[in-house]
């Protein structure tokens, strides 16, 4: 399983800035290994973010994303102590979920 995500949710006035660093190799399927064979594609396909169990963001990604992708967005309506949960699923069927409280 991949390393934990780093999730920061910072409240400022009525906006919350959410920053997420996901640990994933994100192979596109285009690179070659030292012997010249293609490295199989392996990348995050879907990212879902919830606030206290309610969906606030869903993203569908492809092989063009960088290794260890970073995602940042703002949302309204969060309060200090609310729980941000981030889940992803990759092209091999692996998944990861982590959460953090809004500060």
For residues 13 and 79, give the distance between their C-alpha atoms in angstroms, rounded to a whole number.
10
Proportion of the chain above pLDDT 90, given as a percent: 95
For residues 79 and 23, give the distance between their C-alpha atoms in angstroms, rounded to a whole number.
27
Q: In this predicted structure, what is the pLDDT of residue 21?
A: 97
CB 51 within 8 A of CB 84: yes
Share the mean pLDDT of the chain: 95
Q: What is the pLDDT of residues 64-98, one digit of tens each?
A: 989 999 999 999 999 999 999 999 999 999 999 99
Q: Is 50 exposed, middle or buried (0-12, 13-18, 19+ CB in 10 A)?
A: middle
Q: In terms of CATH, what superfamily is 6-101?
A: Immunoglobulins (2.60.40.10)
Structure tokens at 99: 């959460």
Domain limits, the chain: 6-101
């Amino acid at each position: 399983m991949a390393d934990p995500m780093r999730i920061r949710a910072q409240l400022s006035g009525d906006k919350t800035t959410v920053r997420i660093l996901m640990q994933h190799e994100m192979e596109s399927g285009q690179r070659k290994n030292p012997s010249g064979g293609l490295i199989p594609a392996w990348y995050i396909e879907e990212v879902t973010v919830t606030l206290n169990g309610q969906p606030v963001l869903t993203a569908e990604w492809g092989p063009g994303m960088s290794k260890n992708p970073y995602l940042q967005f703002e949302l309204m309506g969060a309060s200090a102590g609310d729980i941000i949960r981030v889940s992803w699923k990759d092209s091999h069927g692996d998944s990861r979920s982590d959460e953090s409280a809004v500060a």
